[in-house]
């Protein structure tokens, strides 16, 4: 399960409106990518879905349940950030198991979930290492692993690859696509990178100053951009 419904979502910071009434139905298992230039509201919208930012107006539903005012822990979602924010003094194993341990899960369950996540992410040989003894790509995998162990309804990614060099970005993009196939979970992914958007998305949401300029499959946006802004952003010839 992981259908997410946004209905008239707005965000005001004081007098300034940065999200201007977003309506969007995300299907269970869908890979949705938010794209748009810096400052258009991608992170704010994602953080509102995740519960890290209050929703000023509108309704958010997950699997039909109104979660508009629910705290992050009650939404069943998991966020992966660009700054990996791993605990430097903990092993990979403990980093990945930390949230389950904090929630009081028994050790046997934590071990099982961490082993499964490590298998999916090919981190099995690194479980006893500290983050500083890992490459950038491995660290990002650990950050994703911390999300996987919690069996979230949906994964929220905010530019997870932007700190990586170009070669690693391509590799991790491929890893994330595989992860989506393996887990069959809903993914909402923010990027300002058109290539990432075009290769990962089932549907792309192009944001322009807090409104949706267009929603569609990569092919639809490329072949039938709604306006010049979308055409320029997607790089299509319109």
Q: Residue numbers of the site for ligand ADP (CB under 6 A)? A: 13, 18, 36, 38-44
Provide the minimum distance between the beta carbon of 35 and Mg ion in the complex, in angstroms, as a whole number: 11
Q: Does 194 bind Mg ion (CB under 5 A)?
A: no
Q: Out of ligand ADP, Mg ion, none, which partner does residue 38 contact, by CB within 5 to 8 A per kind?
A: ligand ADP
Q: Out of ligand ADP, Mg ion, none, which partner does residue 102 contact, by CB within 5 to 8 A per kind?
A: none
Distance CA 212, CA 131 (A): 38
Q: Which is nearer to ligand ADP, 61 or 192 (CB)?
A: 192
Q: Which is nearer to ligand ADP, 117 or 207 (CB)?
A: 207
DSSP sequence for 14-42: TTEEEEEEEEEEE-TT-EEEEE-STTSSH
Q: Which is nearer to ligand ADP, 52 or 231 (CB)?
A: 52
Q: Which is nearer to ligand ADP, 2 or 41 (CB)?
A: 41
DSSP 127: T
11: which strand partners?
A: 19
Q: Which stretch binds Mg ion (CB under 5 A): 40-48, 72-80, 92-100, 123-131?
A: 40-48
Q: Does 43 bind Mg ion (CB under 5 A)?
A: yes
DSSP sequence for 68-114: TT--GGGTTEEEE-SS----TTS-HHHHHHHHHHHTT--HHHHHHHH
Distance CA 190, CA 154 (A): 14
């Amino acid at each position: 399960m992981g259908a997410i419904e946004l209905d008239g979502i707005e965000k005001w910071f004081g007098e300034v409106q940065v999200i201007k009434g977003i309506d969007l139905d995300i299907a269970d298992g869908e890979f949705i990518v938010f794209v748009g230039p810096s400052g258009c509201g991608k992170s704010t919208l994602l953080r509102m879905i995740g519960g890290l930012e209050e929703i000023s107006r509108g309704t958010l539903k997950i699997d039909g349940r109104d979660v508009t005012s629910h705290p992050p822990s009650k939404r069943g979602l998991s966020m992966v950030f660009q700054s990996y924010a791993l605990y430097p003094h903990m092993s990979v194993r403990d980093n990945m198991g930390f949230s389950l341990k904090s929630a009081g899960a028994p050790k046997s369950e934590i071990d099982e979930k961490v082993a499964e996540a490590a298998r999916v992410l090919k981190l099995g040989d690194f479980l006893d290492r500290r983050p500083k003894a890992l490459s950038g790509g491995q660290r990002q995998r650990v950050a994703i692993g911390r999300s996987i162990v919690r069996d979230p309804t949906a994964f929220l990614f905010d530019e997870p690859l932007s700190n990586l060099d170009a070669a690693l970005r391509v590799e991790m993009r491929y890893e994330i696509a595989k992860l989506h196939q393996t887990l069959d979970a809903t993914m909402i992914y923010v990027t300002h990178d058109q290539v990432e958007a075009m290769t990962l998305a089932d549907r792309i949401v192009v944001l322009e100053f807090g409104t949706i300029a267009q929603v569609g499959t990569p092919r639809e946006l490329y072949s039938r951009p709604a306006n010049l802004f979308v055409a320029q952003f997607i790089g299509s010839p319109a």
